[in-house]
Amino acid sequence: MPHPIRILPESLANKIAAGEVVQRPAAAVKELLENSIDAGAKAITVVVSRGGKSLIHVVDDGAGMGPGDAALAFSRHATSKIATLEDLERITTLGFRGEALAAISSVSQVEMRTRRPEDELAVKIRIDGGLLRESVPDAAPAGTSIIVRNLFYNTPARQKFLKTDAAEYRQICDVVQRIALAHPSVSLKFLNGEDTILDLRPSGLAERVSAVFGPKLARTVFPFEDEAPDMSLRGFLGAPDFTRKSRADQYLFLNNRAIVSRSLNHAVFKGYEHLLEKGSFPFFILYLSIDPRKVDVNVHPSKSEVKFGDEGSVYRFVNSAVRKVLSEHDLIPAAGITASDTQRSGEDTIFMQPAASSGPRSTDWRELIRTHSTRDDPAAGGYAAPTPRRKVPAPSVREPSADVKSEEEGMAPGASSPQGALWQIHNKYILAPVENGIMVIDQHAAHERVLYEKAVARFDDAVAGVQQLLFPHTFELSPADAALVAELLPYLAGLGFSVKLFGKTTIVLDGVPVDIKPGAEKTILPEILDLFKEDSHDVRLGPREKLAKSYSCKAAVKAGDPLNTAEMHSLLDQLFATKVPFVCPHGRPVLIRLSLAELDRRFGRTS
Ligand code: ADP
Ligand code: MG
């Protein structure tokens, strides 16, 4: 049963983070929606027009207010949600300040109808600029309907600070979206004027996420749940190809309240380490539950900043949960998430290898089994400490001459390449035994990653390696394609393509990047252009990134290309020298790791 509304005693009112609650329409919408949720509404409708400046109308089917309470609700510090200091220390409602209705009604024209289910008649109240104009019984459904007209009509200075209708509307959308995500069991309708923007039925979390963001997104996020002794976390993490160029798509909820927390955002971001390109941010929706007594929501008037009793432990919990999820989806090597700090950096520990000189060559499978089963004793097993990340790029994977060299000779002298046994399966995947398990590498994705980073580096350095062609190729292009080539000319040159334009539609190609495999000179350029065009709708990427992406995809070895051992070594060597070895430029995983523990589990072994 809700408490009656009371005016907070001054001593308690003074303890509440002071400041203005309603600075823009979106803030008013947020406060009204929070009131509906706090009133236990099961269905809410929001209508706004002109970015909320001319109208905000919120209707709910919640507890309503009695005739005595309705007018009181508009006084400052009038709230039914807390009464004592102890209440302030364990807040479970979204509101508690008793300021929103007072603030909104002092700068707008409000009309409210409210009725408790047990009352026969509703109360209708009209307030203009803080002055009570009317309070009369009226007929209305149970629940509360509040209409806010002409926000800031009596504060011209404030009105001038409002942005365009469209900009204010966008902020309202964000508020409504966050409320929708925080309360999936509440049915929510959102209209902009006549247009229905959202019409959400009560549902579970996953269904709500899919209804808000569309089913396509719902398929690119990983759902998960995790628990610690005094907190729990559930939610959805975007796959690395779903990264954004800003932090706008990061949704964080604490006890069903949308909050902002730089520290927790960072905890998530760090969990994605090595998976993200520079300047991109993961998409996530996270619901954190912590005992309300261990968090303070009373630090800012907007109530969206919070203070954790033990911020460090919340940070570590969130960070490790994220790393766990990503590793379970085989996006980061399991070695990267072991608790021991000495083993932290995945890229350095993942690739254990036999010592180049002392160890026997492990091409014999019997030898392999012996060395791997005695890996605890490096001397006996021929295992050395992991080689530090190579800084010098190894020779191109597809060195034309590599095909005829023996394995031994295929390696650059002195190169610290991993020399463990490698297998290519189905001309598609490379299989490598690693510490505590095996690693499966997608050869195309791996090479794509290598070439992509090389391409980006070349754009920056402007020193492209060009192979001059003995016989230049002449292409006839459509006018549109020729125009595209003209536009991309400097970038193509940056990559190592030597292209000349003749007339409107003829181009001559007389040099290609050194990485292009022999025989592909003729087809590579048109293929890259086609892929570039396919990607052209992607406004997140500039022409450089798009070109680097299409180039790396087309120039990389394909599934179906046989690789000899030297080529596989060279590829892995280069892969682990890249900045982001675990995902290809399109965000697909480059490698997965199958741990011995996982194999043991599947074989029903206990050890
Ligand atoms: P607060 O939410 O911080 O208590 P408000 O100014 O937003 O302060 O609201 C004042 C009081 O009015 C609330 O405590 C609540 O009792 C009542 N109230 C406001 N909106 C509603 C609603 N939609 N349904 C029922 N009661 C409401
Ligand atoms: Mg409120």
Average pLDDT for 535-559: 81
Share of the chain above pLDDT 90, in %: 42
Residue 99 CB less than 6 A away from ligand 1: yes
Residue 81 CB less than 6 A away from ligand 1: yes
For 155-169, 548-562, 571-585, which range has the lowest pLDDT when averaged over its residues?
A: 571-585
pLDDT band at 153 (very low <50, low <70, confident <90, very high): very high
Per-residue confidence (pLDDT) for residue 534, from 0 to 100: 78
Residue 98 CB less than 6 A away from ligand 1: yes
pLDDT digit string, tens, across residues 315-368: 999 999 998 888 777 665 443 333 333 222 332 222 222 222 222 222 222 232
Question: Which ligand has its closest atom nearest to the C-alpha of 81?
Answer: 1
Residue type, 151: L
Average pLDDT for 395-416: 34
* Range with the largest mean pLDDT of 63-67, 375-379, 463-467: 63-67
Per-residue confidence (pLDDT) for residue 347, from 0 to 100: 27
Count of C-beta atoms within a 10 Å radius of residue 232: 15
For 62-71, 273-282, 489-498, which range has the lowest pLDDT when averaged over its residues?
A: 273-282
SS3 label, residue 139: coil
Q: What integer best gives the mean pLDDT of the chain?
A: 80
Residue 113 CB less than 6 A away from ligand 1: no
Residues 6+ apart with CB under 8 A from 103: 20, 21, 22, 31
Centroid of ligand 1 to alpha carbon of 435 (angstroms): 59
Protein residue with least CA distance to atom 12, ligand 1: 73
pTM summary value: 0.64
Q: Is the pLDDT reported for residue 175 higher than 50?
A: yes
Centroid of ligand 2 to alpha carbon of 13 (angstroms): 15
Centroid of ligand 1 to alpha carbon of 35 (angstroms): 5
Residue 5 CB less than 6 A away from ligand 1: yes
Ligand 1 pocket mutation, candidates 35, 112, 115, criterion most atoms within 8 A of CB: 35
Residue 36 CB less than 6 A away from ligand 1: yes
b/e for 135-156, b at 16 or more Cβ within 10 A?
eeeeebebbbbbbbbbbbbeee
Q: Which of 226, 247, 241 is nearest to 319 (CA)?
A: 226
SS3 label, residue 506: strand
Residue 31 CB less than 6 A away from ligand 1: yes
* Range with the largest mean pLDDT of 241-250, 296-305, 460-469, 558-567: 558-567
Average pLDDT for 9-26: 77
Q: Which of 33, 35, 15, 17 is nearest to 25 (CA)?
A: 33
Question: Which ligand has its closest atom nearest to the C-alpha of 6?
Answer: 1
Per-residue confidence (pLDDT) for residue 46, from 0 to 100: 98
Q: Which of 344, 371, 366 is nearest to 355 (CA)?
A: 371
pLDDT digit string, tens, across residues 188-200: 999 999 999 999 9
Between CA 421 and CA 568 the distance in angstroms is 10
Centroid of ligand 2 to alpha carbon of 522 (angstroms): 67
Q: In angstroms, what CA-CA distances link 5 with 227, 288, 447, 475?
A: 37, 30, 66, 79
CA atoms within 13 A on the CB side of 540: 12
Per-residue confidence (pLDDT) for residue 243, from 0 to 100: 67
Q: In angstroms, what CA-CA distances link 462 with 137, 454, 510?
A: 78, 11, 18
Centroid of ligand 1 to alpha carbon of 79 (angstroms): 6
Q: In angstroms, what CA-CA distances link 50 with 33, 57, 161?
A: 18, 12, 15
Q: In angstroms, what CA-CA distances link 399 with 147, 415, 463, 469?
A: 72, 15, 20, 16
Ligand 1 pocket mutation, candidates 101, 119, 183, criterion most atoms within 8 A of CB: 101
Centroid of ligand 1 to alpha carbon of 156 (angstroms): 27
Q: Which two tokens stand for residue 424?
A: 């290519």
Per-residue confidence (pLDDT) for residue 543, from 0 to 100: 81
Residue 144 CB less than 6 A away from ligand 1: yes
pLDDT digit string, tens, across residues 201-230: 999 999 999 898 887 777 778 899 999 989
Question: Do residues 327 and 346 make contact, with C-beta atoms less than 8 angstroms apart?
Answer: no
* Range with the largest mean pLDDT of 7-11, 324-328, 447-451, 476-480: 447-451
Q: Is the pLDDT reported for residue 526 higher than 80?
A: yes
Centroid of ligand 1 to alpha carbon of 530 (angstroms): 58
Residue type, 440: V
DSSP 8-state code for residue 434: E
Average pLDDT for 432-444: 87
Q: Is the pLDDT reported for residue 111 higher than 50?
A: yes
pLDDT digit string, tens, across residues 557-598: 999 999 998 899 989 988 888 878 888 887 778 888 788 888
Q: How much is the CA Rg of the chain, to the nearest whole Å?
A: 31
Average pLDDT for 97-110: 92
Q: Which two tokens stand for residue 364?
A: 């014999």
Per-residue confidence (pLDDT) for residue 12, from 0 to 100: 77
pLDDT digit string, tens, across residues 47-95: 999 999 999 999 999 999 999 899 999 998 889 998 888 888 888 899 9
Ligand 1 pocket mutation, candidates 21, 30, 38, 87, criterion most atoms within 8 A of CB: 38
- Residue 76 region by backbone torsions, left for phi larger than 0, else alpha for psi between -120 and 50, else beta: beta
| pLDDT top residue among 126 and 381 | 126
Between CA 570 and CA 302 the distance in angstroms is 55
Protein residue with least CA distance to atom 14, ligand 1: 79
Q: Is the pLDDT reported for residue 399 higher than 80?
A: no
